[in-house]
Amino acid sequence: MTEKLTAAKPDNLTAVKGMNDILPPDSARWEWLEEKVRQLMACYAYRNIRTPLVEPTALFVRGLGEVTDIVEKEMYSFEDRLNGEQLTLRPENTAGVVRAVAEHSMLYEGGKRLYYMGPMFRHERPQRGRYRQFHQIGAEALGFGGAEIDAELILLADALWKSIGLTDVRLEINSLGQPDERKAHRAALIAHFEQHLDVLDDEARRRLHTNPLRLLDTKNPTMQAVVAAAPKLIDMLGEASLAHLNTVKAILDANGVAWTLNPRLVRGMDYYNLTVFEFITDRLGSQGTICGGGRYDYLIEQIGGKPAPAVGWALGVERVLELLKEQGVASPAPVLHAYAVIPDVATLPIASQTLQALRAAGVSVQMHPSGADGMGSMKSQFKKADASGALFALVFGADELARGQVLIKPLRGGKDDLANAQVPRPLNDVASWAATLQSQA
């Protein structure tokens, strides 16, 4: 029943196009960003949720909408070879979070604030800031209908930019109203575009009657003028929708977060209503949206859960890191406190004991590795110690060991005496000097 799997020739074994390896030292930047996010999410009382990378295809078709870029052309979908289930590598994670929330009745006792980080998959044309496996960090607040939660999420994103030193981003907001307002707008949109059929591309013509809102999200430059002239949803909003938007604006204003209203902002998925927003930069070319989100009050119901309002956003990690690099924000280098220089193989057991005690006390230490010629010359070991970037060498020489000591030799120069002199320290009381090594970082 199953097809035969064939192995590629060994010289074909490279990463899949558009899917990147993230290697050190770049990976340190990723960890740094993730840590900042964890700290910030804790401050806003958002809790981590981890859902599968693979979901039933129907979740995305139903959740995101059949006539969307993602569902029409970007999903990695496949049939489970063993049971024939239709599955998809998640192209985004709002639908997955909503599924989990509904499946586990998580809103039973009230709203939930959640966040996630992880890879997403979309079959797009790879280019700078656009990959086939990319990473998102997302925040979702489910079970809350108030505009203050929309604002809270925007403030959270803004606080993240501040905490990582990102500056060149602007915030655009819009309101997509409620279904009845959308209906009136939809009719007006169709009427408008029907008068300009000649400038619509094939995709737009095909979508005109199934999902005209999508035409506003087109990336086709020749359609921009007719899109700009299209009727605006914001002009058709009722009092309640406008009040919701105004509350969001007022909270942003009170917190000094600048925004501009972009009546063309629609986002790529069908599930949004009321508030939508994007954080955009001009420094990454056409891949300038670093974060997007909005309210999705009907999605939970749409995928079969008990109706509940919700709002959230997702940011593109690659684009955020690219922008940071563009702005010259320095990458945090990992600290290595010490490099262990070990002249004799016979010393390895006692040296390793000391290193374990240091690591248990929070000191980072790298041990010189043996080779065919044993531990190698002192000169070559010091060369490696220097190249490692360590602040100190720990020298496990025979004379020091005989006295129950290890010699600490500064490699970089630094703050106090320890940085300038070679100091012997007792092997049997690592705790007494471990903190001194750490304090030099």
Residues found near ligand ATP in the complex (CB under 6 A): 92, 122, 124, 129-131, 134, 136, 268, 287, 289-292, 314-316, 318-319
Within 8 A by CB and 6+ apart from 147, the residues are 243, 244, 245, 247, 248, 251, 275
Q: Pick the closest to residue 388 from 338, 439, 333 (CA basis).
A: 338
Q: How far is the CB of 125 from ligand ATP (least distance, A)?
A: 9
Q: Closest distance between ligand ATP and the C-beta of residue 340, in Å?
A: 41
Interatomic CA distance for residues 208 and 34, integer angstroms: 41
Residue 156 CB, shortest distance to ligand ATP, in Å, is 15
CB of 136 or CB of 273, closer to ligand ATP: 136
Which CB, 316 or 343, lies closer to ligand ATP? 316
> In terms of CB distance, is 117 or 434 closer to ligand ATP?
117
- Choice between 100 and 290, CB closer to ligand ATP: 290
Question: In Å, how far from its chain's centre is CA 29?
Answer: 12
DSSP sequence for 165-222 = T--S-EEEEEE---HHHHHHHHHHHHHHHHTTGGG--HHHHHHTTT-GGGGGG---GG
Instruction: Work out how close the CB of 58 gets to ligand ATP at its nearest, in angstroms, rounded to a whole number.
Output: 19
Among residues 388, 390, 383, 391, the alpha carbon closest in space to that of 415 is found at 391
Cβ 165 to ligand ATP shortest distance, Å: 18
Q: How far is the CB of 323 from ligand ATP (least distance, A)?
A: 10
**Closest separation in Å from C-beta 133 to ligand ATP:** 8
Of residues 352, 342, 404, 351, the one with CA closest to residue 375:
342
Dihedral of CA atoms 127, 129, 135, 136 in degrees, nearest 10, equals: -140
Tokens representing 425? 């320290």
Q: Which is nearer to ligand ATP, 287 or 436 (CB)?
A: 287
Q: Which is nearer to ligand ATP, 271 or 339 (CB)?
A: 271
Rounded to 5 degrees, what are φ and ψ at 141?
-115, 115
In terms of CB distance, is 201 or 417 closer to ligand ATP? Answer: 201
Tell whether the torsion through CA atoms of 410, 416, 421 and 425 is positive or negative. negative
Q: Report, in angstroms and rounded to the nearest whole number, the Rg of the chain calculated over CA atoms.
A: 28
Residue number with CB closer to ligand ATP (177 or 292) = 292
Looking up tokens 């000591």 gives 405
In the complex, the smallest distance separating the C-beta of residue 237 from ligand ATP, rounded to whole angstroms, is 22
Tokens linked to 343: 């002249």
Q: Can you count the helices (H) and strands (E) in the chain? A: 16, 16
Quote the CA–CA distance of 30 and 117 in Å, as a whole number: 11
In whole angstroms, give the CA distance from residue 291 to residue 332.
23
Question: Which residue's CB is nearer to ligand ATP, number 135 or number 368?
Answer: 135
Q: Which is nearer to ligand ATP, 272 or 392 (CB)?
A: 272
Q: How far is the CB of 127 from ligand ATP (least distance, A)?
A: 9
* Residue closest to ligand ATP, measured at CB: 316
Query: Which helix (H) or strand (E) is 253 found in, with range?
Result: helix 239-254
Give the Cα separation of 148 and 116 in Å (integer). Answer: 21
C-beta of 312: minimal distance to ligand ATP in Å?
A: 11
Q: Is 434 exposed, middle or buried, given 0-12, 13-18 or 19+ CB atoms closer than 10 A?
A: buried
